[in-house]
Amino acid sequence: MENHVTQVAFKVNGEEHTLDIDNRFTLLDILRDKLNLTGAKKGCDLGECGACTVILDGKAVNSCQILAVKIASSEIKTIEGLNQGNTLHPLQISFIENDGGQCGYCTPGFIMGAYPLFESRRNVSVEEIRLALAGNLCRCNAYGAIIDSVVGAIGIKADG
């Protein structure tokens, strides 16, 4: 094996993968270019837009900022892993119902950014939702509808 390549085993959306990974590649590169999971977008590639957000061991991360060789034994969830068969995830349904996406480029990142809050099954406040999504940018300026979409899926505290 060439010395700039490392064999890494990890799980994506519940499926095991073992790949020989170029040490320079990011998690986003692997998802998009090796596994054909193109829901996570390469917006800035600099950690500034959140379009590449996925869940890594339960936390929302910018996958463009994670070297793929660091994900050994990790569990990753992408937007492609949210639906149950033909049934969309409540966050996906709420984004449709609340018009949370215009061009849709940022939408997977916002949904994955909100996913840990949804999974926490807590009654969160709008402020908590805003904070969780503070690193995500929407060039269509759909922020109001995006927050409404997350609120619609998660519910908020009475004082939220």
Binding site for ligand FES (CB under 6 A): 42-45, 47-52, 62, 64, 101-106, 138-140, 142
Dist. CA 109–CA 146, nearest whole Å: 11
Residue 6 DSSP symbol: E
Strand partners, 19: 8
CA atoms of 96 and 93, how far apart (whole Å): 5
Shortest Cβ distance from residue 10 to ligand FES (Å)?
19
- Of 70 and 157, nearer to ligand FES (C-beta) is 70
Pick the closer one to ligand FES by CB: 20 or 48: 48
Residue 18 Cβ vs ligand FES, minimum distance, rounded to whole Å: 25
Smallest separation, CB 143 to ligand FES (Å): 9
| Nearest-approach distance from CB 33 to ligand FES, in angstroms | 14
Q: Which of 93, 101, 96, 104 is nearest to 144 (CA)?
A: 101
> In what helix (H) or strand (E) does residue 60 lie, and over which residues does it extend?
strand 59-62
Residue located via tokens 């270019």: 33
Q: Which is nearer to ligand FES, 20 or 57 (CB)?
A: 57
Conformation bin of residue 91: beta by default, left when phi > 0, alpha when psi is -120 to 50: alpha
Q: How far is the CB of 12 from ligand FES (least distance, A)?
A: 17
Nearest residue to 17 (alpha-carbon basis) of 44, 36, 4: 36
Nearer to ligand FES by C-beta: 9 or 103?
Answer: 103
If the CB atoms of residues 81 and 108 are measured against ligand FES, the closer one turns out to be 108
